[in-house]
């Protein structure tokens, strides 16, 4: 085997070991590593570090939020017979009011139309029809 082939294989082995070392590190997030904390805390302000009046970093790591805990949603209370009857009566009364208002509106519109026809002018909402004359 030539030295070039051995150097190429050695290079691939080194790359594989480096990637394996990165993937198997226990500190996956750089923000969790104490080494990263020391490094970030010692960067001078003029080089982009934290200002002097910045709050200090907490000593204990923050706990992750409980993302997999399911919150129990309170169920709606069912109506008893008395509440159901009151609700039903309210709905019937509202329907009757709407129907009475609609009936009054249509009768007023019909009366306006009759008055307009008697006066010889078009009622509200009607269009004039032009008769074709020769």
Place of tokens 């019937």: 92
Cβ atoms of residues 87 and 79 within 8 Å: yes
pLDDT given for residue 133 in this prediction: 47
Tens-digit pLDDT profile for residues 69-113:
888 888 888 999 999 999 999 999 999 999 999 998 888 888 877
**Residue 28's pLDDT band (boundaries 50, 70, 90)?**
very low
């Amino acid at each position: 085997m030539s030295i070039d082939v051995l150097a190429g294989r050695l290079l691939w082995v080194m790359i594989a070991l480096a990637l394996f070392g990165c993937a198997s590190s226990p500190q996956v997030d750089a923000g969790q590593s104490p080494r990263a904390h020391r490094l970030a805390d010692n960067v001078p302000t003029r080089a982009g570090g934290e200002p002097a009046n910045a709050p200090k970093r907490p000593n204990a790591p923050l706990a992750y939020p409980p993302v997999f805990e399911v919150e129990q949603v309170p169920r709606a209370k069912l109506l008893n017979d008395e509440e159901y009857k009151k609700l039903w009566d309210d709905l019937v009364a509202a329907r009757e009011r709407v129907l009475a208002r609609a009936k009054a509106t249509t009768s007023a519109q019909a009366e306006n139309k009759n008055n307009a026809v008697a006066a010889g002018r078009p009622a509200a909402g009607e269009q004039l029809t032009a008769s074709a004359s020769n």
